[in-house]
């Protein structure tokens, strides 16, 4: 099944907005054994017609985003109707829904919103729970593929695609082979060496697809294939990568932590040096975090580590701020001061300056302390860009806390 994604919107080509649809849709359809074979972006207006026409000749499904709004530059609906040779008619239920939405939100209904209730004949209306413009599914016929028109804002598109596009695709692909994608994040080892050591050998297998993606100071080594095959080659890959492996990214990490803490009436506090507030920020990004997150300290200077967390100044001068003893004093200090049941602490060298032979840029000490339990501390070397370093350190801290909460549940 050849799926093409068409993003419309002058703001995308002006760079004032960064497209989020390709990534989201690709991740959502991959578990169905599907991929987006091609994606294109055009500005508002007639270029939409050209792209729709071209893509329609080479695809089984077109997903078009944007251009369904109420203003005069929103013409995707009209172009799709024209291309598929279908007349537009007023869909009363949609108009009622838009008027009701305006009332509920205290906006005055504008006559121009009526355009959003126009529907090509034979098309299925996909209600929009988060905006005025409904989506549309125009069934394929006469060599023209199925077309889904979805609204541009991600928070309107995503629930709509989940409710209507994904079930449509699930039905189409029922019973087909589904592959998994496994990504190994590798640091301190180039893609050439990875290919020589393991990639080339694996790429000879017909049941595996091998890929590489260079990122700031790391390489994503990607394998796609049936789960059993991925599981079978996993030990080999891990052996080659060794301790060059980084923990996986997972944006829901903080959500699962807040959920587990809330359910068990536990609380959290943080003491950060090198992560500079990112740890607290990630936790407080989760709605309801205020029920479990008590307080956070960003003790960037040595003096603040002593004054706020009670880290002895002698300890810092003897071992340096980036040391096991200091991170343990930090985490125990914040646990005691805050009265929280759990605490995390970080201290490291984010760079670009501040490194030494003994403690190069990227060195970090982390610690987790839980009331009535022994403090756990660990060291990592993450030679990444400043922002990626902060992200990876918080990831490591949160991951340790998550695993600790999970295991103490058992």
Residues 6+ apart with CB under 8 A from 228: none
Stretch that binds a second copy, among 117-125, 158-166, 289-297, 374-382 (CB under 8 A): 289-297
Distances from the Cα of 31 to the Cα of 21, 137, 210, 275, angstroms:
17, 22, 18, 34
What is the rounded CA–CA span in Å between residue 152 and residue 48? 14
* DSSP summary character for residue 141: B
What is the rounded CA–CA span in Å between residue 242 and residue 197? 12
Question: CB count, 10 Å around CB of 47?
Answer: 16
Q: Which listed residue (140, 211, 226, 355) binds a second copy by CB under 8 A? A: 211
Distances from the Cα of 215 to the Cα of 10, 131, 141, 350, 389, angstroms:
28, 36, 43, 18, 13
Q: Which listed residue (64, 113, 123, 344) binds a second copy by CB under 8 A? A: 113
Q: What angle do CA 342, 348, 349 make, to 5 degrees?
A: 160
Q: In the beta sheet, which residues pair with residue 138? A: 147
Q: Which listed residue (86, 124, 244, 386) binds a second copy by CB under 8 A? A: 386
Stretch that binds a second copy, among 110-118, 138-146, 234-242, 398-406 (CB under 8 A): 110-118
Q: How far is the CB of 89 from a second copy (least distance, A)?
A: 21
Tell whether residue 78 is a contact of a second copy (CB under 8 A). no
What is the rounded CA–CA span in Å between residue 37 and residue 41? 14
Tell whether residue 69 is a contact of a second copy (CB under 8 A). yes
What is the rounded CA–CA span in Å between residue 38 and residue 55? 9
Asked if 40 and 50 touch (Cβ cutoff 8 Å), the reply is: no
**By rule CB under 8 A, what count of residues binds a second copy?**
107
Q: How far is the CB of 109 from a second copy (least distance, A)?
A: 9
Burial of 249 (0-12, 13-18, 19+ CB in 10 A): exposed
Tell whether residue 136 is a contact of a second copy (CB under 8 A). no
**Exposure pattern of 7-40 as b/e (b: 16+ CB <10 Å)?**
bbbbebeeeeeebbbeeebeebbbebebebeebe
Q: How far is the CB of 40 from a second copy (least distance, A)?
A: 5
Q: How far is the CB of 297 from a second copy (least distance, A)?
A: 6
Q: How far is the CB of 83 from a second copy (least distance, A)?
A: 18
Stretch that binds a second copy, among 121-129, 165-173, 362-370, 380-388 (CB under 8 A): 380-388
Q: How far is the CB of 86 from a second copy (least distance, A)?
A: 25
Q: Using CB under 8 A, which residues numbered 86 to 105 contact a second copy?
A: none
Token digits of residue 111: 């006559």
Q: Using CB under 8 A, which residues numbered 6 to 35 contact a second copy?
A: 9-20, 22-27, 30, 35
Judged by CB, which is closer to a second copy: 310, or 351?
351
Tell whether residue 196 is a contact of a second copy (CB under 8 A). yes
Tell whether residue 356 is a contact of a second copy (CB under 8 A). no
Q: Using CB under 8 A, which residues numbered 162 to 181 contact a second copy?
A: 181
Q: Using CB under 8 A, which residues numbered 212 to 231 contact a second copy?
A: 212-216, 220, 222, 224
Tell whether residue 135 is a contact of a second copy (CB under 8 A). no
Tell whether residue 239 is a contact of a second copy (CB under 8 A). no
Distances from the Cα of 376 to the Cα of 309, 343, 348, 373, angstroms:
18, 11, 16, 9
Q: Using CB under 8 A, which residues numbered 35 to 54 contact a second copy?
A: 35-44, 47, 51, 54
Residue whose C-alpha is closest to residue 266's, from 337, 338, 327, 333: 338
Residues 6+ apart with CB under 8 A from 195: 212
Tell whether residue 184 is a contact of a second copy (CB under 8 A). no
Q: What x-and-dash track marks residues 258-287 binding a second copy by CB under 8 A?
A: ------------x-x--xxxxxxx-xxx-x
Q: How far is the CB of 167 from a second copy (least distance, A)?
A: 19
Q: Using CB under 8 A, which residues numbered 293 to 332 contact a second copy?
A: 293-301, 303-304, 307-308
Judged by CB, which is closer to a second copy: 71, or 162?
71
Q: Which listed residue (175, 235, 353, 372) binds a second copy by CB under 8 A? A: 353
Token digits of residue 122: 């034979």
Tell whether residue 247 is a contact of a second copy (CB under 8 A). no
């Amino acid at each position: 099944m050849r799926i093409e994604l068409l993003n419309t919107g002058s703001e995308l080509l002006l760079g004032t907005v960064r497209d989020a649809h390709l990534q989201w849709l690709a991740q959502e359809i991959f578990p169905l054994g599907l991929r987006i074979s091609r994606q294109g972006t055009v500005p508002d207006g007639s270029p939409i017609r050209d792209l729709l026409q071209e893509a329609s000749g080479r695809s089984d499904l077109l997903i078009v985003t944007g251009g369904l709004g109420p203003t005069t530059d929103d013409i995707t609906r009209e172009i799709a109707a024209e291309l598929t040779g279908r007349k537009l008619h007023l869909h009363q239920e949609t108009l009622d829904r838009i008027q009701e939405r305006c009332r509920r939100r205290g906006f005055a209904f504008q006559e121009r919103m009526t355009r959003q209730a126009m529907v090509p004949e034979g098309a299925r209306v996909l209600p929009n729970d988060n905006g005025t413009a409904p989506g549309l599914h125009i069934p394929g016929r006469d060599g023209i593929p199925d077309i889904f028109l979805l609204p541009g804002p991600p928070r309107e598109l995503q629930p709509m695609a989940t409710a209507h596009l994904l079930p449509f695709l699930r039905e189409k692909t029922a019973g087909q082979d589904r592959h998994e994608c496994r990504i190994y994040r590798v640091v301190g080892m180039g893609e050439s060496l990875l290919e020589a050591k393991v990639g080339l050998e694996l790429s000879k297998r017909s049941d595996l697809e091998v890929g590489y993606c260079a990122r700031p100071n790391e390489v994503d080594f990607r394998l796609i294939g049936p789960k059993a095959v991925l599981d079978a080659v996993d030990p080999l890959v891990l052996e080659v990568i060794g301790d060059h492996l980084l923990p996986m990214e997972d944006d829901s990490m903080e959500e699962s932590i807040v959920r587990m803490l809330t359910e068990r009436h536990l609380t959290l506090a943080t003491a950060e040096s090198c992560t500079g507030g990112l740890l607290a920020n990630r936790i407080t990004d989760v709605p309801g975090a205020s029920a479990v997150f008590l307080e956070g300290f960003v003790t960037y200077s040595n003096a603040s580590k002593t004054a706020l967390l009670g880290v002895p100044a002698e300890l810092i001068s003897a071992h340096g701020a980036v040391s096991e003893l200091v991170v343990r004093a930090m985490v125990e200090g914040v646990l005691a001061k805050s009265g929280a049941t759990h605490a995390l602490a970080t201290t490291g060298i984010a760079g670009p300056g501040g490194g030494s032979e003994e403690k190069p840029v990227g060195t970090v000490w982390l610690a987790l302390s839980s009331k009535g339990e022994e403090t756990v501390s660990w060291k990592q070397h993450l030679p990444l860009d400043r922002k990626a370093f902060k992200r990876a350190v918080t990831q490591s801290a949160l991951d340790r806390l998550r695993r600790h909460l999970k295991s103490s549940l058992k």
